[in-house]
Amino acid sequence: MEQNLNQPNVQLILSGDSQEFSKLVDDYKNLVFTVALRMLKNPEEAEEVAQDTFIKVFKSIKNFKGDSKFSTWIYRITYNTCLDRLKKIKKEQNISSFDEISGLEIANLNTVLDDIERGEKSKLLKKCMELLSPNDSALLSFFYFEEKNLKELSKILSLSENTVKVRLFRARERLGSILKERLNPETIRNYG
């Protein structure tokens, strides 16, 4: 998923230009809210966390050194704010067991997905994301928002690139398994 995001004028925001800050919020609000919603699984909580994230961005924008992409910096704040909220509400990170997914099943699912309309596929993805743990949802979302850049992803999550690769693989496996459960087995068999 490609995002066309403008680099905000940090100096203008620091000088108190509310128009520039409002532009920044407009540019990033959907991304921040999407990540918050996928991690917290609750629209009200997600909106509150998204607001808190932008307040933190406003307060600490003077600390943005420009050694990473601005989006990476905002995602890092979003991720940490969501983790703080999860700790606060003591929501357990739902890591349920999942069935392994075989090569043949993956191939069949791919064929099924190719034939599903984009709108339906989007709905299906949302349902699957709801069942995924907060960390897996965040990891996959950031990976695709950041155009599959492992270096930026490792900066967001404060993890090494190798750890990110391993976690990404596991998150894909879990999402694949949830997808298999969500789709009607009969449909998969018909395509197989």
Interacting residues toward other proteins by CB under 8 A: 1, 16, 18, 21-22, 25-26, 29-31, 33-34, 37, 46-47, 50-51, 54-56, 58-60, 63-65, 73, 76-77, 80, 101-103, 106-107, 109-110, 113-114, 118-119, 121-122, 124-125, 128, 140-141, 144, 158, 169, 172-173, 175-176, 179
DSSP annotation string for 165-191: HHHHHHHHHHHHHHHHHHS-HHHHHHH
Q: Between 26 and 99, whose beta carbon lies closer to other proteins?
A: 26
Give the up-direction half-sphere exposure of residue 62: CA atoms within 13 A in the CB hemisphere: 4
Q: Between 86 and 175, whose beta carbon lies closer to other proteins?
A: 175
CA 51 vs. chain centroid, Å, equals 17
Residue 172: partners with Cβ closer than 8 Å, 6 or more residues away: 140
Smallest distance, other proteins to C-beta of residue 5, A:
12
Q: Cα separation of 57 and 77, whole Å? A: 7
Smallest distance, other proteins to C-beta of residue 55, A:
6
